[in-house]
Structure 1
C-alpha cells in the first residue's frame, strides 16, 4: 500500500504559492502601479497644454502667470515687476482661469 497524500499535498502547495503570487501582483498593479501611471499621464498632458496667460503653481509653491512658453521652459510673472524662468517640469498645477464675469 502506497500513500499518495504526501505527494499530492506538496504539488498542491506549489500551485497555491503560484496563485498567491499572481494575486499579489494583481493587487499591486491595480492599487499602486496603474494609478501612478495615470497621474503621470495627466501631469504630462498638463505640461504639454501650458499656454500664455495660465495661472500656475510650481512645485515649490510659487504662484504666477505664464508670460512666455518655450520648448522646455516657461517664464512666470510673479508680480508687476518680477519675472522668473522655470523648467516646464517644475509646474505642479494650473489654477482655474477667472473670467470677466467672475471679476465683476
Structure 2
C-alpha cells in the first residue's frame, strides 16, 4: 500500500479502459438521433395541431355553433378580425377572442341539448 499521490494517479490511469477513437462521432450521432426523435414525437404533432386550429379559426362564420375553451356553448352572431360575439342565451351576448374557440359543432346541437 502506497500513500504517494503520483503512484496512485499512475495506478488509476493504468486501470482505466482506453477510449474508442470513434467515441466523438458516436456521441454526435446519438445527439442527432435524439433531436430527430424529439422532432417527430413532439414538435411535428404540435405544429399539425396549431395548423388545424388556425384553419378552424379562419373558417368561423356567422351562425356557427361553437364550444369555447371555457366550456361555453353558443352561436356566433358577429365575427371580427380578432373577436367573435357569441349568443349564449336569449339576451346574453359575449365577446371572445377567436383563439379561444375550441370546436365547431354541427348545426342544431345546442337545441338538442
Range into which the TM-score falls when normalised by the shorter chain: 0.7 to 0.9
Task: Determine the C-alpha separation between the residues in 1 that align with 2:32 and 2:64.
Answer: 45
Q: Secondary structure at the match of 1:33?
A: helix
Task: Determine the C-alpha separation between the residues in 1 that align with 2:92 and 2:75.
Answer: 11
Query: Which structure: larger Rg?
Result: 2
Aligned residues: 93
Q: 2:33 aligns with which of 16, 23, 48?
A: 23
Q: 2:99 aligns with which of 72, 89, 102?
A: 89
Q: 1:12 aligns with which of 13, 22, 46?
A: 22
Q: 2:47 aligns with which of 37, 57, 60?
A: 37
Q: Deviations for 1:41-72, whole angstroms, at most 9, x for unmatched residues?
A: 11011111000111111111111000111111
CA RMSD in angstroms, aligned pairs only: 1.7
Q: Residue 80 of structure 1: CA displacement?
A: 1.4
Unpaired segments ≥5 residues, structure 2: 1-17
Q: Residue 21 of structure 1: CA displacement?
A: 0.6
1:63-78 maps to which residues of 2 (within 5 A)? 63-78=73-88
Q: What is the TM-score normalised by the length of structure 2?
A: 0.76
Q: 1:51 aligns with which of 61, 65, 71?
A: 61
Unpaired segments ≥5 residues, structure 1: 1-5
Q: Secondary structure at the match of 1:18?
A: helix
